[in-house]
Amino acid sequence: MVRVAKEVAGDQCLVAGNLSLTWMYEPNSPSSVDRVRQTFDEQLKVQCEEGVDFIVGETFSWLGEALLWVERAKTTGLPVMVTICFENKDETAEGTTAATAKTLLDAGAYIVGMNCLRPPQHIPAPMEQMRQSVDGYLACQPVAYNTPKDKPDFTSLPEFPYALDPLQLTLKHMGDYALQAKEIGINYIGSCCGLVAMHVREMARVLGNSPPKAVSGKKAAPNQCQPTNITTMIM
């Protein structure tokens, strides 16, 4: 996938390598930590050999595993981004809050933040806490499914995974989220599960980042990426 992305991006866009939680991490287990490190190293090697520009680690529910990710990703010499996720409480599996963003930045991450599980209406509070705790770059990538306040994690809903369609957020919802994220001071405004090209296009539009459109009957110039190719916006 990295190879295909590099071919499409050419020299006009940055391409990120990407890894997520391993499901192997166990706190206070040296053997588990070793397995996680080995897994990260193996996958980083493959993606770095394809020439990625930076490295993203996402959806970490354990702060300990996120820190392991930062440790291993830093060995590549590339900029490192890491995002954690909260389920139905505003904390990691260890019980740490969004202020943990400082721990990740201090460990060497270039961008920190949150992604997945929660929709825009349940992610601003912890993101504001992150912004208050750090001065560095922050990323926010919510899902596009409406969830109740007592169950903000969309995977905890009875509709997950095969009946989520009626819960999908509108273009306006995602556009409003993008503007709110900018107001909070989020630098890397993106999206996660449930988002489609139209959502991303609307987010880009409200942020003033819509790429030039192709002239009718003509192809866009090579440096004129179409709106559907925008996945995140650096503000």
- The string of pLDDT tens digits covering residues 201-213 is 999 999 998 765 6
Which CATH number is 59's domain given? Answer: 3.20.20.330
Residue 162 has pLDDT above 70, yes or no: yes
Give the integer Cα–Cα distance in Å for 42 and 64: 19
Mean pLDDT, to the nearest integer, of 104-124? 97
The better pLDDT of the pair 7, 105 is held by 105
Pairing of strands 111-115, 188-189: unpaired
Reported as half-sphere exposure (CB side, CA atoms, 13 A), residue 89 has a value of 8
Domain containing 166: what range? 2-234
Mean of pLDDT over the chain: 90
**What is the C-alpha separation between 78 and 128, in angstroms, rounded?**
27
Confidence of residue 227 (pLDDT cuts 50, 70, 90): very low
| pLDDT, average across residues 38-47 | 96
Lowest mean pLDDT among 7-16, 54-63, 155-164: 7-16
- Domain count of the fold of the chain: 1
User: Please, where are the H alpha helices in the chain?
Assistant: 2-9, 30-49, 63-74, 101-106, 124-133, 171-184, 197-206
Tell me the pTM.
0.87
Q: Which has the higher per-residue pLDDT, 1 or 223?
A: 1
**Mean pLDDT, range 65-70, rounded to an integer:** 98
Could you read off the pLDDT of 121-141 as tens digits, one per residue?
999 999 999 999 999 999 999
Question: Rounded mean pLDDT of 16-41?
Answer: 96
- Residue 225 pLDDT greater than 80, yes or no: no
Q: What is the pLDDT of residue 213?
A: 61
Burial class (CB in 10 A: 0-12, 13-18, 19+), 217: exposed
| pLDDT in the model for residue 218 | 44
Q: What is the pLDDT of residue 12?
A: 84
Query: Residue 8: what pLDDT?
Result: 87
State the pLDDT at residue 234: 47
Q: In this structure, which amino acid lies at residue 47?
A: Q
